[in-house]
Structure 1
């Protein structure tokens, strides 16, 4: 990670020199020299990072390099902050200029000296790395057995060693076997891919030894690929196993001759070659010359990998299989096989109190494993050596440590984390900090992708050349998903990832690495419901290190906004508060203290605060802020907010402030602006300077001049509030048409008292390329030409008061995939029955009906919604029963119902309406009185 830290600091220094040179007046030469020294250092760090585990001295040196890079960034940004405070502020600061010259001269000398000391330190550390002969350690392995190599030896797999303790693989084995033995040439390569510990190799072995597979192929070869693959060795290993050639004969052949011979053998006979644990596309490209992928052949390749990219690249027509985690029953079966099977208490068949208690403890521990076979096996292997309930209870109390690292930490690689860490070690430097940043978020939380990417950008993790930073950040996330270190949560209507999360064990590994790298720290007060929060706990925990990123998990009552006390010279760059729902701050003065103490912050996330607080003027001194999110009871925004020229994301969406000062126009780097729903500005808020803006939520004609939008050519998401009838609306929309053409997500909020929905319709018609549409408030009629919206895939409607014939407009939209109808979507008096017509909604996959009090009946005609996968019905109180036509929707995979008890009872097994939903694989029923 030192390579990543140094690389990012080099980039930031470059940005400072180019974009903020005025803040470096007098020290720019020293900064450029330091930047050059760091660039020279980068050449050594890839080797040094890889060798830390082998040499304690190198590890300490790498840590010092990382800290020196951070220190350099601190010194420069502290100086820039001082200059900014002196030179910004208009006439008042100019009048004080002469009085500050002497002090500034002292600062110049001091800052230059500090930069010089750090630069010398970096140069000395670079010399030390050369002294430690990093490259010789890498290139010559004689007499040296590295941690990496020991891990590779432990990871090596052998086809003759068959796992006896296997559960839940029968269907997977059958499916893979069918694709291997079936006739035709569609699948030359069959790939098994997924995260570390998911059981890919175990599954491959089961297939390799399957009776049908053994009868079908003439010869077999199994090779395990290390991350440092030697191509000739792999080819030799396979050729020995699938041909009659002896090792001595093959050793005399040239590389090209081996590849050609192996190629021909696979053409002439039916060979199954298993390539286990292949890590990169490049490795496959070096190997593939020996495989007849484009020729007529009955030979097949079975490949396992952690990366979807490798699986896709190996054969574009190949079959990709991703094993699923074990379910609860399968997890218990596996644990029982290893930990309990054969013991008297089980064989006796008597359900004693002891065995019942062990089963209860075992199932609780299995929840932590989340179906990961590796974790279950590690846990079961430990429990197999524990005889008493008390011993099992002790493991339960320390289950995280036991599964992650193994018993007592005494054996390197004895737990599960080292296996998962291989995926982290393989990440390119630009992805490592992005992955580690996920450790900020609480355990089991769904992480919103939009917020995550905004935080990455604010931290400086994202650099974009030919694409926007948002697209680059999403690409980084996609790569982390494809590498199986991050899991997908919710996906949108066009399959874009909306949220993500970490497997519990992957999060443990993430936090372990973050601690090693001094990357971030978490402080959890969320469970201290009755204990006052004390910032001294944080101080004690962080006394020996400079904490730069801090995530604090709060409970509902907060006595202090830790970490305020005892922090005289904080190096914090990122401060994120997480709380369950909303929380009370006992002393509003603490917000002022927070803002005054942490002037170097790039990220401040302070959300969910219920206490009414005026944002202090000192917020304007936090000139390095890139991300500022303030939710709920911020009642006043100072004009000093305009000093935050570096802001990329400003989120005031749920604030209670009614006046927004007209200073936003100064934030020319702003990319995402979320304004309160109800706000005013006098004079009107100027927006025309925000040419980088991509998100603008809740703008209105009362508070700003809508013609300013004509300058916002990068705008992609627009939220607009319609308060009164807009004069010259057609003329305004025409003047901003070039901006509206780029809108992809549109939210229109109109007052319930508005007499006509004409304005709403005009606005919607002006945004013809939208993918997502949310209408909240009186609309009356929807645009009825379906060809006007070829991209529209998601619609949410609430309080629209639509006429009952508008369902016919919705069901004709050609690409609509997600539809959410909420309260008062339709006219209350005239809409009694919602009809889903035959042939309507041809591509709809998800339908949500929430609090629709106007509808008394649903009618689904045969042939309606042929692609529907998910149906959600919640608090539609007048509905008496599920529609009979739902039994015709055979595509339905999940039904979720939250309705009165009488409604739900009809859907249960044996109920009157059960026949309508008995074909649905997943049914979730929740009832209330």
Structure 2
């Protein structure tokens, strides 16, 4: 992690050298010189990687540890200069020394006592700089070592040891399922068999063998989709909560509501699930089952309706599979043979292309040494796709595989570790950070990017934002098959990825390597014991679910108070070596549901990331204001935010959200101090409103008060005045809301001044006791205009007449349009030709539309159409099927005639030889 440590330290220096900071000006030249040396070390690490032998590895470790210590001292100094507590402690020191010396006033004048006291305080402040100077000299020494290595072995030799250039081939977007064809047909036969009784179909095999992939393939097959009335997918995993699993099953079945989440007991939740499945032909997939008890906890909720319902479960344990379905029902996944292994490797590396003959022999060797495990083959394929297609490069991979497999053929982690070792330096920290998230977690791409930015993993670019750099890093991890794409938009490339995940084995690898590198410590039921040892030196802590307040972690926190080590006289004797001692933890991610002890905030002074997703907070913890190094802050809260929030001058991302969104309290104002936090890049709240008076702040300037702000939601539209919007000129994503009785629509036109805006969500909050279609028309101005650069637009409850749709259709860059809850109203919609030129995704959810008179010329590049809750809609326009790019039509809660028209479109396209179109019919 030397590279990540150097990049992070460089960014810390950039922060304190920024013109708006005046912390360490008398050391400015020294720090600028240090910044140049770090840039040199970064280039060295980037080029040498892990290929420089033991000498380079040892040097990288020294670079990492020295960079960590330098950053610790700098950020502790920043903390001391920015918190009142530090000054109080130092004042106490001065006063104590003054009292001590007052006894000597016979020999010293009183002015000398005061001067001596002030000297003590100054020396205590400057002690941090003495420590800094010592470590900077260590950096100087390391730089000389690097230069010596470069002179001895030659920079060109280091460069030649690296993979030359990027991959020439990206993985195909289509899922490659080589080796699963026979398994697929077998499971399909069992799912569609003539037996009417409820059958359990266990799929068993080792981790990474393809159980989940096989289950996903049959679950999404059109034949299965049309055969079953209800389908649900749930991942159980080792640590599960019965209520949580039941709720997720209801959510998958479309029966989850806030009443179930908040008010219903476990018995009622279980009863609702049973009633939902009763009388219907259903398919339930239970992925990753680990125990007989887990099956016993859920089997009683699956009624046997004598109509051919099925339950598919995947497990690594044959005993669990036999217990659940009986021995005769097992479907054992086998490792791939040599031929299938090579076929899978070839398909993943070359796609539809042919493998060059000179690579085939060594390629088959590599495939053979993966021992038939699909996951290992896919990951190694990701590595091969990143090196040059030459026999020498492939032989190098093969030789490494031989040595690893020779040690222990059963240790798949060692095979997976090869891909980690071959990761470019800039990707390693990003990959290991995936271990922060719980097992089987669905990870928001937006969130992981914000966290990478806050942690300081990303290399700065003059031509790209840090978010754009992060997206490139993520794409590389996806291409290497180290990260799973769980949900993406229907755009080409990886830009449309929304949700990712990581295979359990790869997560295990992340946790193992992260602990070895002193990068991350994951605390779960298996990891609490080792936490106390060296706890001051943990840099990142992830506290996973099911850790209660009785567990050792919370007891460990109590031993981390800030202390002034030793007596004042002893401190003086030791040359002020004992100053303010704080924990070195930089990041805490807490996904449990227990209350958070206040010491979590008060004892970890150097935190950069505080991410708490479930614990409810009714009062703002003022201790957080002292965490001046924070860059990312997120927790459930909807109370008053103090003006002192502006003390968090490093903050980049600020997220407050209610645990249950629909039950959030009334709108609240953001403090005026928000405008004095220019480093903010992302603000996310629920139904808040901005003050429109930033000019009241000292140092106010026109045009660009929050010039770094990129995303903001959700704020009241009535505060979108021109004066406010000109202070956020680089905003890319915006969420606004309005009440049905205010004049906010007339402020929407002001958004046209946001030239960088790409994503806009606009919602109308109506009276909850009224149905949407009973409310009067909303009253948007007829000349309503949106920012011309919009790529994605979501409108909810706006009740704009369909005849005014041209205000949306004329947007030249619009790619995605979501219309929810009567966003547009009226019985008829006839689009205007020449509009929606780039629209590839259209959602209409909730509408009184009856006649839709559209054709292929109105949506020339549409890929995905979703129609939900449109009971009055008579049909989907038949010419929609002629759109050459159309891939999916989804219908849910729609009229029978609309369903019939969609099926007719599919039949017509099949007759024309178009096999690319898929029509999914859900609840009718």
Q: Are residues 1:17 and 2:10 paired?
A: no
The residue aligned with 1:871 is: 889
Q: Are residues 1:549 and 2:540 paired?
A: yes
CA-CA distance at 1:501 after TM superposition? 3.6
Alignment of 1:294-309 (within 5 A): 308=167
- List per-residue Cα deviations over 1:700-759 (Å, max 9, x = no partner): 2556755310232211222222226666976x56666432x4321111112325744333
- List per-residue Cα deviations over 1:271-303 (Å, max 9, x = no partner): xxxxxxxx533xxxxxxxxxxxxxxxxxxxxxx
Measure the CA separation in 2 of the matches of 1:536 and 1:504: 20
The residue aligned with 1:600 is: 606
* Residues 725 and 753 in structure 2, CA contact (< 8 A), matched pair in contact too: no
Q: 1:381 to 1:488 in 2, by over 3 A?
A: closer
The residue aligned with 2:384 is: none
Alignment of 1:396-475 (within 5 A): 411=407, 415-417=411-413, 420-460=416-456, 461-475=458-472
The residue aligned with 1:311 is: 169
The residue aligned with 2:557 is: 564
Q: Secondary structure in 1 aligned to 2:450?
A: helix
Measure the CA separation in 2 of the matches of 1:47 and 1:470: 24
- List per-residue Cα deviations over 1:856-882 (Å, max 9, x = no partner): 643442554634312323344x64772
* Residues 837 and 860 in structure 1, CA contact (< 8 A), matched pair in contact too: yes
* Residues 818 and 844 in structure 2, CA contact (< 8 A), matched pair in contact too: yes
- List per-residue Cα deviations over 1:642-695 (Å, max 9, x = no partner): 211222221224465643322211111112111222568698998962122221
Q: Are residues 1:804 and 2:817 paired?
A: no
CA-CA distance at 1:454 after TM superposition? 1.6
Alignment of 1:2-81 (within 5 A): 2-19=2-19, 21-24=21-24, 27-28=27-28, 31=31, 35=35, 38=38, 41=41, 45=45, 50=50, 54-55=53-54, 59-81=57-79
The residue aligned with 1:324 is: 176
The residue aligned with 1:258 is: none
Q: Secondary structure in 1 aligned to 2:585?
A: coil
CA-CA distance at 1:10 after TM superposition? 3.1
Give the alignment's TM-score, normalised by structure 1. 0.61
CA-CA distance at 1:843 after TM superposition? 2.8
Q: Are residues 1:575 and 2:588 paired?
A: yes
Name whichever of 437-446 and 28-37 sits farther off: 28-37
CA-CA distance at 1:69 after TM superposition? 0.7
Aligned mate of 1:883, from 893, 900, 920: 900
Aligned mate of 2:128, from 102, 107, 111: 111
Q: 1:880 to 1:858 in 2, by over 3 A?
A: closer
Measure the CA separation in 2 of the matches of 1:524 and 1:376: 35
CA-CA distance at 1:925 after TM superposition? 7.2
Q: 1:558 to 1:860 in 2, by over 3 A?
A: farther
Measure the CA separation in 2 of the matches of 1:382 and 1:358: 25
* Residues 868 and 891 in structure 1, CA contact (< 8 A), matched pair in contact too: no
- List per-residue Cα deviations over 1:347-403 (Å, max 9, x = no partner): xxxxxx99x96994843999xx9x9769996685799xxxxxxxxxxxxxxxxxxxx
Measure the CA separation in 2 of the matches of 1:322 and 1:850: 27
CA-CA distance at 1:119 after TM superposition? 3.0
Q: 1:746 to 1:519 in 2, by over 3 A?
A: same
Q: 1:407 to 1:558 in 2, by over 3 A?
A: farther
Aligned mate of 1:716, from 711, 719, 732: 732
CA-CA distance at 1:521 after TM superposition? 2.5
The residue aligned with 2:261 is: none
Aligned mate of 1:822, from 836, 841, 845: 845
* Residues 487 and 501 in structure 1, CA contact (< 8 A), matched pair in contact too: yes
Measure the CA separation in 2 of the matches of 1:406 and 1:415: 13
Aligned mate of 1:698, from 714, 734, 737: 714
Q: Secondary structure in 2 aligned to 1:115?
A: helix
Measure the CA separation in 2 of the matches of 1:372 and 1:697: 45
Q: Are residues 1:514 and 2:514 paired?
A: yes
The residue aligned with 1:152 is: none
Alignment of 1:546-695 (within 5 A): 546-555=537-546, 564-568=557-561, 569-578=582-591, 584-585=593-594, 587=595, 590=597, 592-609=598-615, 611-631=616-636, 633-654=637-658, 656=664, 658-659=667-668, 660-677=670-687, 689-695=705-711
The residue aligned with 2:240 is: none
Measure the CA separation in 2 of the matches of 1:124 and 1:781: 72
Aligned-residue CA RMSD in angstroms? 5.1
* Residues 887 and 918 in structure 2, CA contact (< 8 A), matched pair in contact too: no
Q: 1:704 to 1:595 in 2, by over 3 A?
A: farther
Measure the CA separation in 2 of the matches of 1:504 and 1:280: 31
Give the alignment's TM-score, normalised by structure 2. 0.61
Measure the CA separation in 2 of the matches of 1:365 and 1:104: 69
Measure the CA separation in 1 of the matches of 2:651 and 2:826: 46
* Residues 539 and 566 in structure 1, CA contact (< 8 A), matched pair in contact too: no
Q: 1:513 to 1:703 in 2, by over 3 A?
A: same
Measure the CA separation in 2 of the matches of 1:46 and 1:766: 44
Q: 1:555 to 1:405 in 2, by over 3 A?
A: farther
The residue aligned with 2:779 is: 758
Aligned mate of 2:531, from 516, 535, 539: 539
* Residues 715 and 742 in structure 1, CA contact (< 8 A), matched pair in contact too: yes
Measure the CA separation in 1 of the matches of 2:406 and 2:90: 64
CA-CA distance at 1:846 after TM superposition? 1.3
Alignment of 1:212-231 (within 5 A): 228=161
- List per-residue Cα deviations over 1:50-87 (Å, max 9, x = no partner): 357x53x7645532331121111011101111101149
Q: 1:409 to 1:118 in 2, by over 3 A?
A: farther
Q: 1:17 to 1:832 in 2, by over 3 A?
A: closer
CA-CA distance at 1:105 after TM superposition? 1.4
Aligned mate of 2:763, from 749, 753, 760: 749
* Residues 602 and 624 in structure 1, CA contact (< 8 A), matched pair in contact too: yes
Q: Secondary structure in 2 aligned to 1:882?
A: helix
Aligned mate of 1:707, from 718, 723, 739: 723
Q: Secondary structure in 2 aligned to 1:665?
A: helix
* Residues 607 and 630 in structure 1, CA contact (< 8 A), matched pair in contact too: yes
Q: Secondary structure in 1 aligned to 2:715?
A: strand
Q: 1:121 to 1:434 in 2, by over 3 A?
A: same
CA-CA distance at 1:45 after TM superposition? 4.7
The residue aligned with 2:817 is: 795
CA-CA distance at 1:35 after TM superposition? 4.6
CA-CA distance at 1:502 after TM superposition? 3.7
Measure the CA separation in 2 of the matches of 1:280 and 1:58: 20
Aligned mate of 2:800, from 774, 777, 780: 780
* Residues 695 and 718 in structure 1, CA contact (< 8 A), matched pair in contact too: yes
Q: 1:630 to 1:11 in 2, by over 3 A?
A: closer
Gaps of 5+ in 1: 142-147, 149-225, 230-278, 282-306, 313-318, 340-352, 384-403, 529-534, 894-914
Q: 1:695 to 1:892 in 2, by over 3 A?
A: farther
Measure the CA separation in 1 of the matches of 2:738 and 2:684: 17
Measure the CA separation in 1 of the matches of 2:811 and 2:79: 49
Q: Secondary structure in 1 aligned to 2:800?
A: coil
